[in-house]
Structure 1
């Protein structure tokens, strides 16, 4: 029986573990935190329950596939609730625009707010569907294990068909004329930690997921996905080890042979999967001499994705104007991205995202709203300094919301701040970045770090910092892809 050691228990590592164990591999998974699920982390503040990690769930079939490949029923593990009208976008001039997977809802709004967009909406849906289907066929299933994967004629032809030279902003401008509507769609760039004025139009496929397939929420909290994966992994015999930090990857003859824990214990394995931030974990766990294709200086030259400044707030009332997802847009969205990516500073006029899962699931906070408030933030500088006073920036966010008609101050029962520094330390995220490398540069958008080490045999990478990218469905897909690649090697 072949043995696999997995470093990190995020969704990518868990999906790999389940897939391999289901095929008869002996799998041991080591996670430095108390919980499994990576950034999909539960946080409890008195009677208020929060998910730190992805609040917006798309591609439910991916999570179901992990469960159902074992012959189990996904319904026995979690309940997916579709949010038809899922995100309310609110602009400084008072304009409101609700995102919905119901085409009639979208058209009725566009006919009033953007008649040009209403006329183009069906062709818009057709094009974003085409972009997603191409990605689904040619990009998502690949593991990019060698240079041959990159020079495949079919892949090259597909890349030319996904608008690689057009920006997201330009793409949306070709279908819509109202600047506010364009801004609402431009926010999809933040799902990959990038700027809509630099990231390629290829990522308009994210709009397909929300506008066509729909947005979902898991009853009891999205963290139920991670808890279900961990539960199934244990049933399949996977050894799940929490609070077990890995010190280094063992390498012999340019081949991964196991891992060593901080405790000094060595765990030998035929394959090693690293479900940790590649930009930070690889240099820390493998000496530079063993990875000539991934030197430290290479990491420092890469542009990290955005980070996040988060405030979780338990409120003693319910705000009817807040939907499950609500976004209060800045009055200068372009400047906000310039602040983050060009000036490397926090915006003093930030766009503010609020997840209020109690809108859909009141049991998550029976005494009032559980508000997960997020503002895009720059990655930490190389010296690791936070750059801001967290309390002062939190107050700026509250003051901004108050000026927009959402006064929280007198209703706060519980409160917790999470900064990019916390993200860096809690999740081992390089410079606190949420998605590894940003997709602002064409090369980084299409040629993300591959899923295998170029220098060390039997060392694989999964997670948001490698192919196919960030976001809970993508990291889960990366885990499935790598597991299947290992299974193929043994056939």
Structure 2
């Protein structure tokens, strides 16, 4: 039985481990934090339960299928609740725009807000469906384990069909003329930590997931996904270790022989998977001379995605105007991204996203449990700010929309880009791996396999775009590469 050592217990590492353990490998997972799931962290502040990490869940079949492959009934572990009306966007003047899978309700709103979109909305839904089907078939499950993978004729045919040199904003302008309506759809670029004015149009496929397939919430919190994975891994007989930091990967003659833990203990293995940000993990764990195709300085060619400034706030009461997700728009969306990427500073008028899971799951908190999220530059060392001051800037803007946080506040926790960098070893504190701006890099991602070390594999944010389903798919890709080899 081959021994697989997985460094990092995020969703990708858990998924890879589950698939390999179910296929006859002996898996051990080593996680430096006190929990499994990566950024999918449960946080308890008094009587208020929060999830840090993926807030909008799509593609539930990805989580269900890997549990099924492991011999389990996913319904025994996860209850996915579909949210018909999942998000309300508030324009700067307070006008609400509800995002829903109900096509009639969408058209009724667009009739008032954007007469062009009222007509083109069905064309939009068909176009993003085609984008999704192409991307899902041709890109999601590719491992790019050798250079020949890049020359598959079907891959390049698909590449040219997904608007690789068109930006998301340009794509959305075909369908939406009202600036604020268009910005509501342009937020999909922020889902991958990028700007709609530079991210490829192909990522507009997210619209298919939200308006054709639907947005979901996992009862009890989205962290139930990582809990389900760890439960199944334990049941299958995998070895799971938390609070266990790996110091280095031991390499001899182009083969990884095992790992050395921070306490000096060594663990030998036949195959190693790094489930972490490869731009930081590879240089930290492996001597540079052992990976000449990925020099330590190679990370500099990649732009980090956005990071985040987060406030978790528990309120005394429930605001009757909140739904599950709400977004409070910037008055100048393009200027916001200019501040983030060109000026590398926190936006002066940020778009504010609030997730209130207690709306659909009231047992999670006695009042609203608000996860308040603002995009931030990734390199926390390159800009100066005072978290307390920026928190009050956010609260001040929300009050203009009738959301008075301080008067209702019971518990509160602030998380900065620097916190993300230290807690998750994220490249420059980026929340979503590398930024999807280089058009071809967005599709032809880094390989799931090391070019220099024959039995070293990767599952991380540089081998897949951001998102919980994509993290799982990256783990599946790494496991498949090992099994098929």
What are the within-5 Å matches in structure 2 for residues 303-314 of structure 1? 303-314=303-314
Q: Which residue is 1:195 aligned to?
A: 195
Q: Which residue of 1 aligns with 2:133?
A: 133
Name the counterpart of 1:104. 104
Q: Does 1:414 align with 2:411?
A: yes
Q: Deviations over 1:442-469 (max 9, x none)?
A: 1331222211111111111102232x22
- Distance in 2, Cα, partners of 1:271 & 1:27: 10
Note the alpha carbon deviations across 1:421-447, whole angstroms, 9 max, x for none: 000111111110011110012133122
Between 1:412-421 and 1:101-110, the stretch displaced more is: 101-110
Shift of 1:386: 5.8
Q: Give, in whole Å, the separation in 1 of the partners of 2:59 and 2:403.
A: 32
Q: Which residue of 1 aligns with 2:169?
A: 169
Secondary structure of the residue that 1:445 maps to in structure 2? Answer: coil
Taking the TM superposition and a 5 Å limit, the aligned residue runs for 1:180-191 are: 180-191=180-191
Instruction: Output one character per residue of 1:51-75: Cα deviation in whole Å (capped at 9) or x when no partner.
Output: 0010100000000011111221101
2:436 aligned partner: 439
Structure-to-structure mapping, 1:62-211, within 5 angstroms: 62-211=62-211
Match of 2:15 in 1: 15
How many pairs are equivalent?
A: 485
Match of 1:462 in 2: 459
- How many Å separate the matches in 1 of 2:242 and 2:273? 16
Provide the TM-score with structure 1 as the length reference: 0.97
Q: 2:397 aligned to 391, 396, 400, which one? A: 400
**1:54–1:222 Cα contact (<8 Å) kept:** yes
Structure 1 residue 76, shift from structure 2 partner: 0.3
What is the rounded CA distance, in whole Å, between the counterparts of 2:272 and 2:89 in structure 1? Answer: 43
Which residue of structure 2 lines up, in the alignment, with residue 245 of structure 1? 245
Please give the alpha-carbon distance, in whole angstroms, between the structure 2 residues aligned to 1:463 and 1:332: 33
* Superimposed CA distance per residue, residues 143-177 of structure 1 (whole angstroms, 9 cap, x where no aligned partner): 11011111111101100000001100000000111
Equivalence for 2:288: 288
Distance 2:225 2:33 in 1: 17
In the TM superposition, what is the alpha-carbon distance from 1:385 to its structure 2 partner?
5.5
Q: What is the DSSP-based 3-state SS (H/G/I as helix, E as strand, rest coil) of the residue aligned with 2:454?
A: coil
Q: Write the distance in 1 (CA, Å) between the matches of 2:477 and 2:218.
A: 24
State the shift of 1:294 in Å.
1.4
Deviates more, 1:262-271 or 1:356-365: 262-271
- In 1, distance between residues paired with 2:462 and 2:213? 25
**1:89/1:98 contact within 8 Å kept:** yes
Paired residue for 1:274? 274
Determine if the alignment matches structure 1 residue 478 to structure 2 residue 474.
Answer: yes
Is 2:452 the partner of 1:429?
A: no
157-166 or 256-265: bigger deviation:
256-265
- Pairs within 5 Å for 1:297-376: 297-365=297-365, 367-376=366-375
Contact 2:164 2:440 in 1 (8 A): no
Unaligned ranges ≥5, structure 1: none
CA distance in 2, matches of 1:321, 1:438: 34
Cα distance in 1 between the residues matched to 2:471 and 2:216: 17
Structure 2 CA distance, aligned partners of 1:204 and 1:433? 21
TM-score if structure 2 supplies the norm length? 0.99
Q: How does 1:372-387 map to 2 (within 5 A)?
A: 372-380=371-379, 384=381, 387=384
Q: Is 1:212 paired with 2:212?
A: yes
Measure, in 2, the Cα distance between the counterparts of 1:459 and 1:334.
41
Q: Are 1:272 and 1:459, in contact at CA under 8 Å, matched by a contact in 2?
A: yes
User: After the TM superposition, which segments of 4 or more aligned residues of structure 1 sit over 4 Å from their partners?
Assistant: none
In 1, distance between residues paired with 2:435 and 2:142? Answer: 20
Determine the C-alpha separation between the residues in 1 that align with 2:56 and 2:150.
31
- The whole-number CA distance in structure 2 between the counterparts of 1:73 and 1:174 is 43
CA contact (8 A) 2:139 2:443 kept: no
Contact 1:21–1:238 (CA under 8 A) maintained in structure 2: yes
Q: Give the distance between the partners of 1:248 and 1:41, measured in 2 at CA.
A: 25
Distance 2:424 2:258 in 1: 22
CA-to-partner distance for each residue in 1:194-216, whole Å, 9 max, x for gaps? 00000110000011111111000
1:225-251 per-position Cα deviation (integer Å, ceiling 9, x unaligned): 000000000000110000000001111
Shift of 1:348: 1.0
TM-fit CA distance, 1:270: 1.1
Task: Find the residue that maps to 1:442 and give its secondary structure.
Answer: coil
Unaligned stretches of 5+ in structure 2? none
Secondary structure of the residue aligned to 2:66 is helix
